[in-house]
Structure formats: structure tokens, C-alpha cells
Chains A and B, each alone.
Chain A
Amino acid sequence: MTEEQNRVRTGIEASDEELIARFQQGDNYAFDLLVKRYKDPLLNFIYRFIGEKNEAEDIVQETFLRLFKNKHYYKEIAKFSTWIYTIAGNLAKTELRKRKRRKLFSISHYLSTEKDYDIPDQTTSPESDTNTLITDKIIQKAIDKLSPKFKQVIILRDIQGFSYEEIAEIVGIPLGTVKSRVNRARLKLQEDLQDIIVDTEM
């Protein structure tokens, strides 16, 4: 087997769309490759969205399960990335709605202290990292305060780096609405995050 054939077989250089096509034809190895590509980006997207790692991981799993069960719903007209982010985003929004309901009816919520965010363990150069982690935490809290419709677009744009057109497709809203929501979210966040901005300037 030549090197090129081997690359095609292993799917190292295959596009997402090629992989999903292969998976639709019954190649489960292509599914594994898609999971490998998307598990961490999706985890970060959902974690920023709902602010809790374990639940975020659970939603990522549910996203891949949906992909596994509904692979034939994917049509080539859309990019695979926007399709999978749409599924994940919808699941995250559902989770937020459930939480809101739980908060309304749960007394224990008012008694319990707020759970700390799960920040990855990075032990090199402790001082600067501690500062970075604290800043990250403050940023996450500011993102949490945004309403879901602003939160989703700002995460996709400024953290995940999607284009406005891709975000419009993922969220299912017009391009102009995406742009104005991103703009308003940025203005709100700069208001709420004055402290960390001043700190860095000093």
C-alpha cells in the first residue's frame, strides 16, 4: 500500500465532509476520527456556554451520540462543522433552560455556595499562571452573565473564531443579527471587565 493510499485509508488528511460521507456509508472509523477532531473544540464551546465542565462533557457525548444516530440527516449543502456546532449549541441551550427551571424551584440552590469553575491544571510558572487562571475565571463569569443569545455568538466569534457567515448558519439567524449581537456582547463585556483591562494596562 502506498503512502498516499494509507493517508486516505487512515483519514489523516480527509476533510470533515469526506469523513461524514464515509461514516454515512458505514465506515465507523471515520466517526472515530470526527470525534477525535471535535471533542475538545466542542467541549470548550459548551463549557464557555454553560460554565461547568462535567455537564459540558456530558453534552459533548450527547452531541456525538446524536451524530451517530442521525448521521443520514447531514446533507452536503452545509459544512460539517456548522452542523455539529448547531447540534451542540441546541443541547447547551436546552441545558441552560433546564437549569433556569431548576433554579426557580430548588431551595437548595439558595443555600448552596456557587460551584467553582473547573480550570485545567497547568503547573508551570505558578505565579503568572495563577493570574491567568484568575483572569480566565473572571472572564467566564462575565460571559455567564450574558443572555444565551449573546453568549452563543460571542463564544463562536471571539473564542472559537468562526466567521459571521458560519455563525449565522449555526445559530440560524440572519447575518446582520449576528453582527449586531456580537457588537452588543463586546460592548457589554468591556463594561463588565473594566477591572481586568485596567490591571493589564498597569
Chain B
Amino acid sequence: MIQCDTVQEMLSNYIEKSLEPDLRTQIQQHIDSCPSCKKIVANVQYLTQRFRRLSSLNVSPQFNQALRSRIMANTRTEPPRLSARNLSYGFSGLAIVAGIYFITSSDIFQSNQSDSESARKPEIINTQPDRRIPLQQNPVAVQPVDQSKETLTSDSLKERKPVASDKNIKLVGSEE
């Protein structure tokens, strides 16, 4: 059952016919049976129509002239004011730019440091393959010598064998 409060809340929607059909029917039923709500609805409907007929005003005949003078007066004084402002803007701009430069330059310094640190890491990494290459190349380069000195360096060959493993030789071979 719809109460008077709900009707008053929905009043504008009801007058402007923007309610869902079901709700509208319920409100209509309440209005038909409630003299107080009926009066409020009629009053508001009357006033919204009456407001549209309120006498309208026109600007005075001097309006255009007065507006022109006002614009002239306000735009004339602007150039010197603007240039004075520009100066202060310029100074503050300079200060900001200097500030930004200081911050960014210190950033660069920091990032340079970190760059050099990170640059060292690859060096260390690079040294590992460098070490490996001679190991891998050695068997190839050393092998003929080893073959000629087989009897003399049999012990050392035995020692080398595990180092110059099949795996390493294959790798060199596959590279070639």
C-alpha cells in the first residue's frame, strides 16, 4: 500500500509521466482516494505551468555599450599586467627547470654508478666462456702433439682425458 510520503517523493516523476506503469497506477489510486495528496499534486501542476508564464525581463538599452566598455577596460589593462606576470612566471619557471636539472643530474649519476656495476657482471660472465674456449680448443690443438708424445706423456694424457671429454670434442666438432 502506497503512503503519502511515497507519493510526495514521486510527485515530479508522476507529473512528468516518467514512472513505470505499475507504480503510476498505484500512485494514481492513492491520489484518487487521498484529498491531501490530490491537492498537492494539483498545486504543483498549476505552479509548474504558472512559472513558465512569469513576466520576462529584457536587458536595458545601455547593455551593449556598457558591455563593450567593460570589455575594453578589462582587456586594455591586461598587456602590462600579463608581461609582469610573465616575468614572475619566467623566474619561477627557471627555478623549476633548475630544480628538475639538479634532480635528474643526480639521478643520472646514480644510474651511472649502477650501470657500471651492472656492466661489471657481464665481464665476469664473459670470462667464463673465455676459459672454456681454450679448454675446448686445447684438445684440438694439442691432440697432434699428444699423439707424438704418447709414450712420454702417457700419465699426463690420462690426466687430461677426463678434461678433454667426448662431450667437449663433440661440441668443437659440431661448431666446426
Contact = CB atoms under 8 A, between A and B. Distances in A.
B51 A139 contact: yes
Interface in A146-202: 158-159, 161, 179, 182-183, 186-187, 189-190, 193-194, 196-197, 200
B60 interface: yes
B46 interface: yes
Contact of B40 (A119, A139, A187): A187
A91 interface: no
Contact of B74 (A43, A65, A161, A193): A65
B63 A57 contact: yes
A96 B8 CA distance: 30
A160 B56 CA distance: 11
Given A35-B67, A183-B12, A187-B8, A161 B59 contact: no
Nearest to B62: A57
A18 interface: no
Nearest to A47: B57
B17 to A, nearest CB: 14
A46 to B, nearest CB: 10
Contact of A158 (B52, B60, B64): B52
Contact of B60 (A57, A69, A132, A193): A57
A40 B57 contact: yes
Interface of B: 8-9, 11-13, 40, 43-44, 46-48, 50-52, 54-60, 63-64, 66-67, 70-71, 74-75
Contacts of B12: 179, 182-183, 186
Contact of B58 (A69, A120, A179): A120
Given A44-B56, A158-B48, A186-B44, 16 more contacts: A40-B56, A44-B57, A53-B57, A57-B63, A60-B63, A61-B63, A68-B75, A120-B57, A132-B55, A133-B55, A136-B55, A139-B50, A139-B54, A179-B12, A186-B11, A190-B44
Contacts of A200: 46, 50
Interface string A74-110: 0000000000000000000000000000000000000
A158 B75 CA distance: 37
Interface of A: 35, 39-40, 43-44, 47-48, 53, 56-57, 60-61, 64-65, 68-69, 118-120, 122, 132-133, 135-136, 139-140, 158-159, 161, 179, 182-183, 186-187, 189-190, 193-194, 196-197, 200
Given A40-B57, A120-B57, A183-B9, A190 B67 contact: no
